[in-house]
Amino acid sequence: MTSRGNEYRPRAKVCFGAAHATENEQTRAALLQLAEDWLRMAENYDLPAPAEQAQEQQVQPKDDDKNK
């Protein structure tokens, strides 16, 4: 199964390509903004969910600490 991040990156690439192909400055700016938005969304989907982050940050006691 493909992650959403991996789905969004090709969309950003298309926007970057179209931006570089156009001569219209307003269109170029809009396409570059859209490409950056797709990349930002891809990065956000690649981050662990807040519950997963909290679980990863929990410190597990060492075996030595259990005996005290």
Query: Does residue 6 have a pLDDT over 80?
Result: yes
Mean pLDDT, the chain, as a whole number? 82
Q: What is the pLDDT of residues 18-45, one digit of tens each?
A: 999 999 999 999 999 999 999 999 999 8
**Which of residues 24 and 68 earns the better pLDDT score?**
24
pTM over 0.95? The answer is no
> How would DSSP label each residue in 1-59?
---HHHHHHHHHHHHHHHHHH---HHHHHHHHHHHHHHHHHHHHHHSPPHHHHHHHHPP
Query: Does residue 16 have a pLDDT over 80?
Result: yes
Mean pLDDT of 2-14: 90
